[in-house]
Structure 1
Amino acid sequence: MFIDSHCHLNFPDLISELPKHLAAMDANHVKMALVVAVDRAGLSSVLSLPKQDARFVASVGMHPDHENEAEYSVEELCSLAADEAVVAIGETGLDYYRLTGDLAWQRARFATHIQAARQIKKPLIIHTRASAEDTINMMRSEGANAIGGVMHCFTESVEVARQALDLGFYISLSGIVTFKNAVEVKEVAKFVPLDRLLIETDSPYLAPVPFRGKLNHPALVVHVAEEIATLKSISLTQVATETTNNFLRLFNVPNERKVVLQ
């Protein structure tokens, strides 16, 4: 079985055809998916999915790209994350790729999320783009290692992966690992120990080969696992088993939701 550790199934292109995507998950033995929050506007739809179907769990947080959002307080994040279906804080982090200028507000937002995760004792989902050094430095300075979490859709170097692993974080690989030119990500896949790896789609984005350029959805996480199995010269079953166990361990999935794994 497989678990998609990061998707945005609440986005309009996916939720409008939810029955189709659920059927595809079943057909591909994808037993669970973590639906990740990125802003305030979409939070209600993120939180509604686990109430509809035990195959879903959720996160609460605000993406670093959303510049003009009203900020969450630590207390607000903790209150939202108290829901048993919420297994993580995020996605959060730093992104210097799209935005320029004084990004102190991004760092303040990231710090708030780390503080909330530490307070409520739920792991972090961290996004980093063109900001690896500052991201790792803030993880250290804010004590993110005290709670742990995952570096999602990882596209950084082996050295950055090593530093994240040293802080107790998992590394999650997306469909990018299947791209022919993703040489560095493939090296990361070989480097990271299997007991610290997760797989994800980040759908509706980043569909894996042979679906690159098309709408991504949780069922396609199987192709990420297949590529990792090839790169590590191990069986697909081993990748499926280990990444599933890693997910359940990291996110402390409630027992009542584990029934879907039977």
Structure 2
Amino acid sequence: MKNTRRRRRSRIPRKVALAALASLGLVAAARGADCPRAGTLGTSRVLTIDAATYPRVGTKSFPQTLPLRDHEVVLTFDDGPWPPTTPKVLKALAQECVRATFFLIGKPASEHPELVRRIAAEGHSIGHHTWTHFSLMRMPRANAFDEIDHGISAVEAALHGVATTKPSTPFFRFPGFESTPATLDMLQSRGIIVFGADLWASDWNKMTPKQELKLLTDRLRVARKGIILLHDPKAQTAAMLPAFLRYLKDNDYHVVHIVPGAVSAEAEQAP
């Protein structure tokens, strides 16, 4: 009887099984499967998202967040690139075969294009964080729109050598989470997903790496999952990151990498 069941299962076409997986809208990978080093944290799965389904995510700012399971986290870093510390963050992520999302400021991206290209070459997603990181709530609407577009075009030029306001990865985060109805509507009309966060380490405050690690892990024990906000230009965060990745591994957390889905026709036609 066992042999009969085994033979019947073997007749299921492989294409059918693959199609069933693809219909989930996820690209899943075994934990650490693409990593040459055994025992690493790894990237558990890749989640494809689009602005039609997830226009704004992160419960600190919006009602909705990403569809993460218990003990799944998305790692995000703001305010880079910054040569003294971003390479340290990249090294820590590479050591554990973890992929993250970097929300880059346009001005430093234009000054350090080789570092922008390195972030992308190492498999991370690159989002946008304005041109200068000024608060968009404290400037006229036209200036706020220009801050967004100037930042996008600078990052795209660093990445691909062509300045364009249509981002290859349509992810955006407001400096200080300070959005306005006009900027939110504009980004949504262009198919650009706005990221808040579900938790953070408050690393804009001065503290030691040990203090930051405790603060972040205490918050994660309560939240159990979510989009985590960190800042790669912060030396304390770069120093803390290896220990945090070990904490994730030791406590059975899984890292999810986010990538953009298809852009709608309306977003493609937006100016």
The two structures have a TM-score, normalised by structure 1, of: 0.46
In our comparison, the structure showing a higher alpha carbon Rg is 2
Where relative contact order (Cα < 8 A, 6+ residues apart) is larger, the structure is 2
- In terms of fraction of residues, the more helix-rich structure is 1
